[in-house]
Chain A
Amino acid sequence: MNYLLETSQLSYRFSENEMILQDINLRVPEASIYGFLGPNGAGKTTTLRLILGLLKKQEGSIHIFGKPFKQNRVEILQKIGSLIESPSLYSHLTAVENLTLLQKIYQCPKERIPAVLKLVGLSDTAKKKAGQFSLGMKQRLSIAIALLHNPSLLVLDEPTNGLDPNGIIEIRQLLKQLSQEEGTTIIISSHLLSEIEKLVTDIGIINKGKMMFQGTLDALIRKQQQLLSIVFETNDIVMADKIIREYELMPVLDDGKIMIPAVSKEVIARINQQLVNNGVDVYEIGIVKNDLEAIFIDLINHKI
């Protein structure tokens, strides 16, 4: 597979005893939307800052567009647009001026300025100073800056921070459109899976500086289906456990309940009948829905 961005054994520490990242092997396929997930403080921003050269690499390697970053920094950055954490805007300049000073560096056509302002819905505020913008508007302008030079790779660190629900939907649609129409590869970090699960094609989950999962969204969904389970609540957990084991299932006792992997409706009915026939009162039979968010939480809590 072609990886547009690949890190190998990337590690980083702020001090001798403070390991921030450990052996991060990030693999971002070309033209994918890669969701980089993890709770606050997991190491997402540090990883992205290392990728962009904002932090000095200590261990490991970073290859972007198939080239080592360190030796090809300027050439690689020419094709990357980024938004890292809070917006970076010159508050005494207008939206157009903020874009103009980057247009001069990237030497992209001036027509891109109104075009990206329109894309992020800021056409009417072009002459307003960035310092007078709301947080949501600042975030939109920062996304416009990241898009200005039509980058091949877009690195967005929590880009929906400060946006209202409509704004979040608009940005999602915009990113999808960029990926589908322009083939832009997008890395988007978030601490909420629900926020990006409708957007991404690939996912990397990081916690405490370690990668917990990496793969396609489909692979994560398969994991979710494997993790569906049936729960039985009865008055005699020992007898129920004994009966269920006859079906060669591996019951797990949890909080006075018995959990088994997903089975067919018929099997559930037979187990239920047998429990009742053996004098066990069945209070509840239910499905434990491990949605993606639950899997994400389990992954970061090392339960999987």
Chain B
Amino acid sequence: MTIPFLNSFQSEWLKKKRSLAAWIVLIGGFFTPAIIILVRIVYSSKLAVMYASPNFWFKQWENAWESMAIFFLPLGVILATSLIAQIEYKNNCWKQLHTTPLSLTTIFFSKLSVIVVMMFQFFLLFNIGIYLSALVPYLVIGGVSYPLAAIPFGYFLRENGLYFIDCLPIIAIQYMVSLRSKNFLVPVGLGIICWIAAIAILSWKFGYLMPYTYTIFNYLKAQTGGRAIKPEVNIHIMAIGYFVAVTIMSYILYITKKEKG
């Protein structure tokens, strides 16, 4: 299966070229960093103190992730996943794909892999963006020194990993719904409803049952003040559990579908 999978993955990767999903990853990765750069240039008088702080990189990380973890990441995952899965419906190509010499398992997992790799690509771009949003004000505005504190690579890597894991159940759910529904609005609409519900139940005792809350919980974990509960369970393990369970369910639904294009 390995070689057909790689061939199929390459083919799926090519399909996203110039697609809206590819643009979402690119623009989404640099959007928040661009806003941070703009704000810092406007409020440049405070930068000298900020850049000299020993907590600079932690603050930088927190600033960058605030809107990302709560808004852009869940919504971006909802949109990008739905768009990738819907490419076949939009172009009337399921029948073409299902008459290629690929097993249904290969098709299912190569498509899913493209989405997961795209998310990885997004995280990579966003991290580059975070670094650039620290570097550009230093280069552009005089009198600001390069941050004195060392970059906490281990912390960044760990947090990236946790956010990535927290996205997985959203990917799996959106993927499952997108494969089932011909109408693009169904997965996107459902995703947005789930995200709104997630925001609404952050302070509920069992809010962690909703997988769309995980990126938000991960961001708010260090904060106090009652914006959200502190989940009594390990949400990252829950995220992996949801991802595996929903992916299995999605796979069964996909291979048992009566009409394949």
Contacts and interface: CB of A to CB of B under 8 A. Distances in A.
Interface of A: 49, 52-56, 73-75, 77-78, 80, 82, 84-93, 97, 100-102, 104-107, 145
B258 interface: yes
A89 B98 CA distance: 14
Contacts of A107: 7
Contacts of A54: 95, 98-99, 259-261
B99 A52 contact: yes
B11 A101 contact: yes
10 contacts: A53-B98, A55-B259, A55-B260, A74-B101, A74-B103, A78-B101, A84-B99, A86-B92, A97-B17, A104-B10
A88 B92 contact: yes
Interface residues of B, number: 28
B177 to A, nearest CB: 22
Contacts of B91: 88-91
A278 B219 CA distance: 108
A74 B5 CA distance: 13
A129 to B, nearest CB: 8
Contact of B14 (A80, A91, A97): A97
A90 B93 contact: yes
B11 A104 contact: yes
Contacts of A82: 99
B215 interface: no
A82 to B, nearest CB: 5
Interface string B87-108: 1001111111011111100000
Contacts of B67: none
B15 interface: yes
B102 to A, nearest CB: 6
B107 to A, nearest CB: 10
Contact of A87 (B10, B15, B92, B102): B92
A89 B94 CA distance: 10
B90 to A, nearest CB: 8
Give the most central of A53, A77, A88: most B CB within 10 Å: A88
Interface string B239-261: 00000000000000000001111
Contact of A88 (B8, B96, B259): B96
Nearest to B93: A88
Interface in B89-141: 90-96, 98-103
